[in-house]
Amino acid sequence: MNSLLSKSAISFIACFILLLNLSAQDQFNTFNHLKSNSDLLIGASIYYWESNGWLIRDTFEYQYDEIDNRILSLKKSWNGEEWMNNSKTDIEYDENNNPSLYFMQNWNGSTWINETQLINTFNDNNDRTYHSLEHWDIQNTEWIIQERRLVEYSYNENNDINSIHYTWWNPYDMVWVEGSRDTLIYDENHNLTSRLSQYMGDENWINSNINIYTYDDDNNRTSDTYKKWLNDSWLNDIKHLFEYDGNHNQILIMTQLWDNDNLVWKNLIKKTRDYNNDNNLVLNVDQLWDNNNLVWKNSSQQINEYDNNNLILSVSQQWDNAWVNNFYTKYYYELNTNTTNLNYSINLVNISPNPTSTNLHLEYPIDKNLFFSLFDSNGKQLLTFENRTIVDLSTFPKGIYYLQITDIDSQQFTTQKIVKE
């Protein structure tokens, strides 16, 4: 049996490892984050800088279902003479629009060959309860399990997840085994303040690591400290520090490592971000800490351009005594004809004031049948209601919220950003 994974399979698995601990809402945002209210991302082209010129290498084409869930991502590569199929990912969804299947295939020159699949199920809260990551064995023509686990959740009185229990599949003994568990604690504003991870020993749960989070008065996360359990005590390991502008945009991310010899935090990486007037990220600069000279040194940067809030160009550069081109990506959109009627309805929904400190006023024609869902910045659903004109947010913590507006007749939707002051 061939156990070696292709480069594309490794990239695919790496992508989904990032998704394994995301909520369904997070995953939906990850795969649909380049959709605007009226435009759909239909393609992207990647150009690489070589010998003082840009050369196109890869293109991506995207397809969507009738409610704008992405169902296909097709990659093609340029072989010097023509565009050739490279790989594709088909995505299926359950009745709640949670991604239930990611199915990846590679092109062998004449036909599509199975590569990797990720199978998911979700509970009524849209939290993942099962996943199976599997790789196709060409020689034996069967799926080989790379990772499989069951996930159980418990919730507090505010419907926040306060514990997660993982059971893992042992492919050698063909049995489910006790895996690990996470215990989550929140503050009065429903902000996650700690997440304790433990694994099952011979008989008892054993501490593994803990994340501790802090927030400012606007409920923006200001730090994330990771500690590991060693010699019956918690040892600092890595810390992330965050800063924000007046619109709650993250403008600084600093990563530090713990120096156990000197008992101090030492700088490692710094990300600095700039935004335009529409709160779109236009510049991200990565810098590395020089321990010898005690200064930050440029490493890489990403420059973004937008048109009508659609990301149309992203340029990546590396630092070599000056900024040197690396690659750039162009994005292509088309008018979302599936949501023409909805967009007309949504355009008639006037949301004010925004920002607000008390109530949101929703104004729209009386003949429109709309359903509203309010989410926090973590994708947790806080409120649902129909045909209401006033929403009381006075008891909600300061921060960013998202109001999803759904046309009940067509089941199509859009999302508006709400700022609570």
- Which of 414, 274, 258, 298 is closest to 351 using CA atoms? 414
Distance (Å, whole) CA 142 – CA 202: 34
Mean pLDDT, rounded, for 110-125: 95
- Which of 58, 70, 64, 42 is closest to 7 using CA atoms? 58
Instruction: Look at residue 408 in the predicted model and tell me its pLDDT.
Output: 66
Instruction: Look at residue 3 in the predicted model and tell me its pLDDT.
Output: 35
Q: How confident is the model at residue 409 (pLDDT cuts 50, 70, 90)?
A: low
Mean pLDDT, rounded, for 107-135: 95
3 state SS for the chain: CCCCCCHHHHHHHHHHHHHCCCCHHHHHHHHHCCCCCCEEEEEEEEEEEECCEEEEEEEEEEEECCCCCEEEEEEEEECCCCEEEEEEEEEEECCCCCEEEEEEEEECCCCEEEEEEEEEEECCCCCEEEEEEEEEECCCCEEEEEEEEEEEEEECCCCCEEEEEEEEEECCCCEEEEEEEEEEEECCCCCEEEEEEEEECCCCEEEEEEEEEEECCCCCEEEEEEEEEECCEEEEEEEEEEEECCCCCEEEEEEEEEECCCCEEEEEEEEEEEECCCCCEEEEEEEEEECCCCEEEEEEEEEEEEECCEEEEEEEEEECCCEEEEEEEEEEEEECHHHHHHHHHHHCCEEECCCECCEEEEECCCCCCEEEEEEECCCCEEEEEECCCEEECCCCCCEEEEEEEEECCCCEEEEEEEEEC
Instruction: Look at residue 336 in the predicted model and tell me its pLDDT.
Output: 57
pLDDT at 251 > cutoff 60 = yes
Distance (Å, whole) CA 79 – CA 46: 14
Between 30 and 380, the higher pLDDT residue: 380
Mean pLDDT, rounded, for 171-193: 93
pLDDT at 116 > cutoff 80 = yes
Rounded to 10 degrees, the C-alpha dihedral 66/68/71/72 comes to 110
One of 3.30.70.20, 2.130.10.10, 3.40.190.10, 2.40.128.720 is the CATH number of 156-273, namely 2.40.128.720
Which amino acid, one-letter code, is at 40?
Answer: L
Write the CA distances from 158 to 189, 380, 383, integer angstroms. Answer: 10, 11, 12
Phi-psi region of 256 (alpha: psi -120 to 50; beta: other; left: phi over 0): beta
Instruction: Look at residue 30 in the predicted model and tell me its pLDDT.
Output: 37
Instruction: Look at residue 366 in the predicted model and tell me its pLDDT.
Output: 63
One of 3.30.1510.10, 3.40.50.300, 2.60.40.3080, 3.40.1410.10 is the CATH number of 339-420, namely 2.60.40.3080
pLDDT at 31 > cutoff 70 = no
Residues in the chain: 421
Per-residue pLDDT tens digits for 304-360: 999 988 999 999 999 999 999 999 999 998 865 544 343 444 456 778 888 888 888
Instruction: Look at residue 348 in the predicted model and tell me its pLDDT.
Output: 60
Backbone angles phi, psi at 246, to 5 degrees: -70, -15
* Average per-residue pLDDT for the chain: 85
Mean pLDDT, rounded, for 70-79: 93
Domain limits, the chain: 156-273, 339-420
Distance (Å, whole) CA 223 – CA 241: 4
